[in-house]
Structure 1
Amino acid sequence: MSTETLPLTPEKKHSSQVFFAALKERFRLNPGSDKETYHLVLEADLPYKVGDSIGVYPENDPHYVEKILATLNTSRKHLVQDREGNPHTLETFLQKKANLNRISKKILQHKSSLLEALSHGNPEPSSFCAHLSPIPPRYYSIASSPRHSPHEIHLTISVAENPVEAPFPFGTCSHYLCHQAPLGDPSIPIFLQPSPYFFLPDEASSKPLIMIGPGTGIAPFRGFLQERAASKTSSPNWLFFGERCQKTDFYYQNEWESLQTAGLLEVTCAFS
């Protein structure tokens, strides 16, 4: 897994060491549901602890990028610079560097969408790109324990739905990871976001653990339970989980039932 130092985004300070991870596995957790939730496995050697998160720098939807390139009517190989002065082709900049969800009023010029503004304004590419903010990272709780799954990071992600007025119907990062990122290619930029307050303290091994994780909020507690099982903790565990439909949206049901059979877990659910 290769590494690189990327500039910090203004949204949140974090470790500047970015690793390029490969997507090892991806499958849907709730086939038949009216929303999409996926389990993802990344190959990564990050020194994380249960309770930590990772940040992911996504790529924009290539079909939307193609529409912008066609509207600009400029070569996709036209060179532009990011805010640090690094050169990129116009296509790469729009695909990997630009925040296409939040467009400044200076670009929109009272138009309802970016494509409409570009078709009326016909801006020079370098000037247009200079007014686009950097694409921000998205943060996801890690759904695994390094003691249970070494060299891997597991994620539980629902594909976010954007408002009707948004330029793209799905969340940028959830769409990228769940629909777009190729398997086996170490090209996903991630970084570790340690959690200073949400973790299993050393003394927790001798105490009962109560966890409340509805929906994808179940993710870190999957890691907690894997960690407790790997350390052979005999203290009781009680998990509260909720979602829409028990038939389709009971994430990791088989895992919880196996722990229940082994006498290691009690589960209380609410579906509505």
Structure 2
Amino acid sequence: MTSILQNEREEVQLKQRVITVVDVKDISKTLRRVTFHGEDLEGFKFHLLSPEAHVKLFFPDMDTGELRMPTVPADGWGADWEGVSEGRFSPFREYTIRSFDADSLIVEIDFALHHVGVSEPWAIQAKVGQKLGIFGLRFIKYPPLNAKSYVFFADETSLPALARWLEILPKEAIVDAWIEVASAESEIILPSHAGANVHWLYSKPGETIGSGLIEAVELISDELFSSETWVWAATEAHTIAKLKRILVRDGRLNSAHLDLTSYWKQV
């Protein structure tokens, strides 16, 4: 099928930056918002119409505070990642920007509190005055804002991007969003959108991660999908693979109108 909707990308020059925690607050039982300030954020290329704008956060040694990030040439194009697999750099993870204020040089990032990995334990103990390294943006992705309808699949890790989607979509857009979280205590207040129908799905003990989203997509009526529908999903890697298989089968949807991204992977 011919595609009438598409993402557009703009490359961005890289720069090493250091940011400092200025506020920490919980917005749900399992999502913590950390607010950072940094003079290094001058010139930060955040764009309001890029809901998935993301950066690499580098976490310092908890004892020494040392931060090791890739070096960047003077022109900002490219970076020296040699030795990344040998632990040359501080541990890092990718995170979506929830908001950025260019005047006050304030950036907000939401952390899912799962007590695993590198970033979540850091977020659990995050305190005002602590510093992180921030690397990026590497590119800006502009999604289509001219679709008739949007179907979203998300979890706690992609709630910041989903919130930004709701902030930028035209008021006449029809939106159906399915969000799988641990429980009702993990729900957050999302930006209001007149055309949005939000479905909160709760994980059930013993079920595979993403089961709620898979069940939801199986039950969605074909009437929801059309040649003017854009589907965005951002969740666990195995769930993304299953969603893709379901969505492209029998030609129920233009595969060019799928934007499916693995935000993390269950091991």
Q: Over residues 190-221 of structure 1, what are the superposed CA-to-partner deviations in whole Å (9 max), with x where a residue is unaligned?
A: 1223456x5423xx145322221112222211
Pair 1:57–1:178, CA change in 2 (3 A): same
The unaligned stretches of length 5 or more in structure 1 are 1-13, 63-91, 100-130, 163-170
The unaligned stretches of length 5 or more in structure 2 are 1-11, 70-85, 204-267
Residue 171 of structure 2 corresponds to residue 227 of structure 1: no
Q: Indicate the residue corresponding to 1:134 in structure 2.
A: 89
The aligned length equals 169
- Aligned-residue CA RMSD (Å): 3.3
Residue 159 of structure 2 corresponds to residue 218 of structure 1: yes
**Counterpart selection for 2:99 from 107, 120, 144:** 144
Is the 8 Å Cα contact of residues 31 and 111 (structure 2) preserved in structure 1? yes
Q: Note the 1:1-272 alignment, pairs <5 A.
A: 16-31=14-29, 36-43=30-37, 44-45=41-42, 46-49=44-47, 50=50, 51-62=52-63, 92=64, 95-97=65-67, 133-144=88-99, 151-162=105-116, 171-183=117-129, 187-195=131-139, 199-201=142-144, 204-205=145-146, 207-228=148-169, 233-246=171-184, 248-250=185-187, 252=188, 254-256=189-191, 259=192, 263-272=194-203
Pair 1:97–1:156, CA change in 2 (3 A): closer
Is the 8 Å Cα contact of residues 144 and 222 (structure 1) preserved in structure 2? no
- 1:53 Cα deviation from its structure 2 partner: 0.5
Q: Indicate the residue corresponding to 1:82 in structure 2.
A: none
What SS does structure 2 have at the residue aligned with 1:176? helix
Q: Over residues 211-270 of structure 1, what are the superposed CA-to-partner deviations in whole Å (9 max), with x where a residue is unaligned?
A: 211122222111122223xxx543222221111211x111x2x335xx15xx24210121
What SS does structure 2 have at the residue aligned with 1:240? strand
Is the 8 Å Cα contact of residues 145 and 224 (structure 1) preserved in structure 2? no
> Percent identity over the alignment?
9
For 1:207 and 1:152, the matched residues in 2 are separated by: 34
**Larger RCO (CA under 8 A, 6+ residues apart):** 1
For 1:211 and 1:152, the matched residues in 2 are separated by: 28
Q: Over residues 3-34 of structure 1, what are the superposed CA-to-partner deviations in whole Å (9 max), with x where a residue is unaligned?
A: xxxxxxxxxxx954112223233211333xxx
- The residue type equivalent to 2:17 in the other structure is F
What SS does structure 1 have at the residue aligned with 2:168? helix
Larger radius of gyration: 1
Is the 8 Å Cα contact of residues 53 and 141 (structure 1) preserved in structure 2? yes
Is the 8 Å Cα contact of residues 242 and 270 (structure 1) preserved in structure 2? yes
Q: Indicate the residue corresponding to 2:257 in structure 1.
A: none
For 2:34 and 2:164, the matched residues in 1 are separated by: 14
Task: Report which of the two has the higher share of helix.
Answer: 1
User: TM-score with structure 1 length normalisation?
Assistant: 0.51
Task: Report which of the two has the higher share of strand.
Answer: 2
Q: Indicate the residue corresponding to 1:109 in structure 2.
A: none
- The residue type equivalent to 1:136 in the other structure is P
Is the 8 Å Cα contact of residues 239 and 268 (structure 1) preserved in structure 2? yes
